[in-house]
Amino acid sequence: MKKIIKRAGLAVGLSLGLGLLVAEALAHGDVTPHAVDTSSLQPVGKEWVAANPYRGNEKAVAVGADGYLHNCAGCHGLNANSGGVAPDLLLLTKDCLGMTSKDQQASCLKDTDEYFKEITLNGKKTSDGRYVMPAYSSVFTQEAVWAVKTYTDARTVEENAKKAK
């Protein structure tokens, strides 16, 4: 009888452990890159532009929000509110938006656009070569990258306005 109880306990323990392992693996959601429908946006062209051409474009914000939800939210948080798993994307342009000089602000935003584009397209690896963010170059068009960036920038402006009140 004791052997049966021990085996049943072991089976339950293994099942719970496996269940927790599966839950942890799924905690980040689906990290497979998904294409973003940008058909409602003005095409940017084949050559990559240096700065986000959709900045402030409400249609691009909506397209970017959908792209973000399906590709980024699992790690970077819903509504771009980081849960601490991955970097807080709202911090990327926060300092730029606080600059009083419009020329400095434009230069800063262009730099963050370039950084965002490179990380989004090529992914990010640790020093030992392990990917901590997948590369999206196989499924994201230029329009998709800039739409998602437009969304995160709009969320930064929104959050800054809330904090200013």
**Mean pLDDT within 101-112:** 96
> Model's pTM, two decimal places?
0.80
| 31-164 is a CATH 1.10.3190.10 domain | no
- pLDDT tens-place string over residues 5-31: 656 555 555 555 544 444 444 445 566
Helix (H) or strand (E) holding 9: helix 2-26
Domain spans of the chain, in order of start: 1-29, 31-164
**Average pLDDT value over all residues in the chain:** 86
- pLDDT tens-place string over residues 41-67: 999 999 999 999 999 999 999 999 999
- pLDDT tens-place string over residues 141-164: 999 999 999 999 999 999 999 988
Residue 128 has pLDDT above 90, yes or no: yes
CA distance 126 to 44: 32
Residue 126 has pLDDT above 60, yes or no: yes
- Name the residue among 111, 103, 98 with its Cα closest to residue 164: 98
User: 52: how many CB neighbours lie within 10 A of its CB?
Assistant: 25
C-beta separation of 72 from 28 below 8 A: no
